[in-house]
Chains A and B, each alone.
Chain A
Amino acid sequence: MKVTKRFWMRSILGAAAAAALAGSAWAQGQPVKIGLLATLEGPFAAGGADGMRGAELAVKQRGGAVAGRKIEIIKGSSDAKPDVAVNATRKLVEQDKVDIMVGPLSGGEGIAVKDYSKTQPQVTFINGASGAQATTLQNPSPNFFRFNTEGAQWMVGLGQAALDKGYKRVMVIAEDYAFPYSQVQGFMAEYCAKGGKVPVKAWVPLGGKDYSSVIARIPKDVDALLVVLGGADAVNFLTQYENAGGDKPMLGGSITVSQDVLNYRGKRRDSLVGTLAAGPVADAYDGAEWKAFVEDYRKNYPVSAGGFPSPSLFAYVYYVNMKAALDGLAAVNGDLSDGHKKYRDALQKMVLKTPTGDVRLDSNRQAIGSTFVIEVVKDAQGNLNTKVARKVDNIDQMLGMKKEEFQMGTRDVPACP
């Protein structure tokens, strides 16, 4: 009795939804609703707000409309926790009925939203800034697209650069969760293949304050340290390492060499010069498109209005993903009928023009793009700054390995002691 009633209700709802979809497909002038999810709360609140700025900038550059259809942005917020991100996404998708969803920001959230996207085939999901490998490697979702490269891809090129500097043995010090695992893998895949050795890996808790036990474990015979720690953790580590009399040169992860670290005022400040790091953006990159992007960001979000002096990684990545969503929409002339089929084909085949070069998608809908290797230098005023040492293009998620050989980064994979 109850069962029949349920099916009856469902079919009515289904018919209503189908009618609504068919109706909107014909109405070309109707706005396209895009849900935008970033972390406006919690540890990445500042980054989330900048991510939203990046996404809005992409909409502004198109004048707020694509192919005659107005772009309507509906924002959601999470606090970097997967369950909160899924709740916020569910509200945007099921309550606000968005056509396209852009977000979320952090790795665990990305995996959870990808899992959720499988239950909502009528909506196209495009990543925000999340960079976990598993999102597109394990059980990829047919309607989840990622136009940014992820944590492991961001580190390609650093291994070669370290060997060029003569670092034969490197100790790894990294936070103990998915993103640093990916980063370390991206470094080691290249470094180990070319003959480098990593005798010790130290995994420290996120937000740790005391690094003395790690510092005590640093072997005498390593040439450098690969430090994959977030902003405040990196500064804490540097201070304690300096107090302990350490003198090894440093290699950094993609979020290690941030402005906090460059503003470091300790005695070892000069020893930071020459530190290598890698990531998807480089403030000092002198490509014309990048300069135009930075200029546009500064014009729209001056520091007085809460913007950053230079767009953050989050602003850039959200910008790229939102731009992909809109470029795809333009390619199909705003036509989202037939359950987004044409739109998704367009996204899949698109060669996206980004400020740092062209981006294509692989068969798992994951970006193949560029990475910068940067080096810390001292400018004329004595300020620390970064310069681009090398740009590596066309990095795919397999990091140049064969699919059968590739294993996702964990605490123990890869290893070359």
Chain B
Amino acid sequence: MSAARWRRAMNTGLAAAPRPLPVAVSARPAGPAAEPDPYADSLAPEWLKFLWRTLGARHVFVLAFVLLLPFVASPFFTFQVASQSLILGLIALSLTFLAGYGGMVSLAQMTVAGIAGYALAVLGTSSSAEISLAWPWWVAVPAAVLIATLCATLIGWLSVRTEGIYTIMITLAIGVAFYYLVLQNYSIFNGFQGLRELKPPTVFGVQWRDPLPFYFLALFWSLAGYGVVRWVVRAPFGIALQGIRDNPRRMEALGFHVLAHRVAAYALAGAVAAVGGILLAWYNALMTPGSVGTSWLINILVIAVLGGMKHPIGAFLGAIVFVLLQTFAIDLIDRERFNLVIGAVFLVIVLFSPDGLLGLWAKLRSRFGPNQAMTSPTRRQP
């Protein structure tokens, strides 16, 4: 579906939003075929037709790149750079969804990821046998995601009544409170030392923490997260959410329950962040208070802003730049001063392109490429 077509659908006015849009329904693989399908007579399964309709050349190119990358790159690059970028990108994606489509900047997304990681450590196995309950992974992982999603919903419930800077403040407060809780609680969270040796299980005879399997695990969930966000923002719920972002009072007058939509957005973003949190716990093989400290709350915001919040892919672009800088900046200049490079690159990107890397790309396209909008079809905030 083209950007222009989508924009038209958006611009038909807010009154059109509550009605299920035809495009949105047909984009759903299992949904009822509401409009005549040009491929209806072929025998190909429904999902294949769906892919054919939605995938463009650049999707295929990127997919081929990410699938082939680990066979070309070194195990180090696959694990530390690529997998870490995917995981941080997934957590930042939850913030991009909340902030870009819901207009709510939450600093507590890393906290939600941390809750999932800690829940996994406490319910599953870790080095602290007296704390961990040693449930099998297929119980512990879904339970951890569920707990984190519930916590995210509660955080949403608390913070949706605020706007702008107050949302940032309240989510920051929640994040810092959680940090101090895990720092000072010894009976469940093991305090300063945290919980160690959180290894992904060995399933189907595969060591899931080896670089290659772990990369594909992270890739699968990142693609899943990306797909879910892309799908939701076109579904009626996503459209309503964007309407609420742009004008909550009008949406309220139209009969939408603004608070419920916002809380639901927090819950969905929480689920995405929770999956990222599980992967992050496995990646680091430990959960310590440092993983949910203030610096990481801010880092997730940095990643999201760096990439650009106009499109879900921005979160992953931001994460790639962030991880590359964190890993290799120390090779560039004097090793005592490498944080300067990191800061300078961030500053330059944000200074020259308020929309992050995506905005930079769009600027280049509009200057050199064919005249076509590259940013997401979401409307700019007034």
Point out residues on A near B: beta carbons under 8 Å.
5-6, 9, 13, 40-41, 49, 75-77, 81-84, 86-87, 90-91, 94-95, 108, 111-112, 115, 138, 176-178, 205-206, 411
Contacts and interface: CB of A to CB of B under 8 A. Distances in A.
Which range holds the interface residue count of chain B?
Answer: 20 to 34
A90 B284 CA distance: 11
B336 A176 contact: no
A309 B91 CA distance: 46
A87 B325 CA distance: 13
Given A75-B330, A90-B80, A176 B286 contact: no
Contact of A108 (B186, B193, B197, B330): B193
Contacts of B285: 86, 112, 115
A9 B212 CA distance: 10
Nearest to A90: B80
Given A40-B336, A87-B80, A112 B74 contact: no
A142 B80 CA distance: 24
Given A40-B336, A41-B339, A177 B330 contact: no
A329 B197 CA distance: 32
Given A83-B284, A115-B197, 10 more contacts: A77-B335, A81-B288, A83-B290, A83-B291, A86-B284, A87-B80, A90-B80, A108-B192, A115-B196, A177-B191
Contacts of B80: 87, 90-91, 94-95
B339 to A, nearest CB: 7
19 contacts: A75-B335, A82-B194, A82-B286, A82-B288, A83-B286, A83-B288, A87-B84, A87-B327, A91-B327, A94-B75, A95-B77, A95-B80, A108-B192, A108-B193, A108-B288, A111-B193, A178-B192, A206-B183, A206-B192
A25 B225 CA distance: 47
Interface string B102-132: 0000000000000000000000000100000
B76 interface: yes
Interface of B: 71, 74-77, 79-80, 84, 127, 183-184, 186, 191-194, 196-197, 212, 284-286, 288, 290-291, 293, 326-327, 330, 335-336, 338-339
Contact of A94 (B74, B186, B291, B326): B74
Contacts, number: 79
B193 A178 contact: yes
Given A41-B339, A75-B330, A111 B196 contact: yes
A77 B331 CA distance: 11
A81 B330 contact: no
Contact of A205 (B71, B75, B79, B183): B183
Contacts of A91: 76, 80, 327
Nearest to A410: B186
A87 B76 CA distance: 10
Contacts of A95: 74, 76-77, 80, 327
A6 B207 CA distance: 13
Contact of A13 (B75, B77, B197, B339): B75
A294 B154 CA distance: 58
A3 B193 CA distance: 37
Contacts of B192: 108, 176-178, 206
Nearest to B197: A115
Q: Which 4 pairs across A and B sit closest by C-beta, in order of nearness? A: A94-B76, A81-B290, A177-B192, A83-B284
A205 B185 CA distance: 11
Contacts of B338: 77
Nearest to A87: B80
Contacts of A13: 75
B74 to A, nearest CB: 7
Given A83-B290, A86-B284, A177 B76 contact: no
A83 B114 CA distance: 13
B335 A40 contact: yes
Contacts of A115: 196-197, 285
Nearest to B336: A40
A63 B194 CA distance: 42
A38 to B, nearest CB: 10
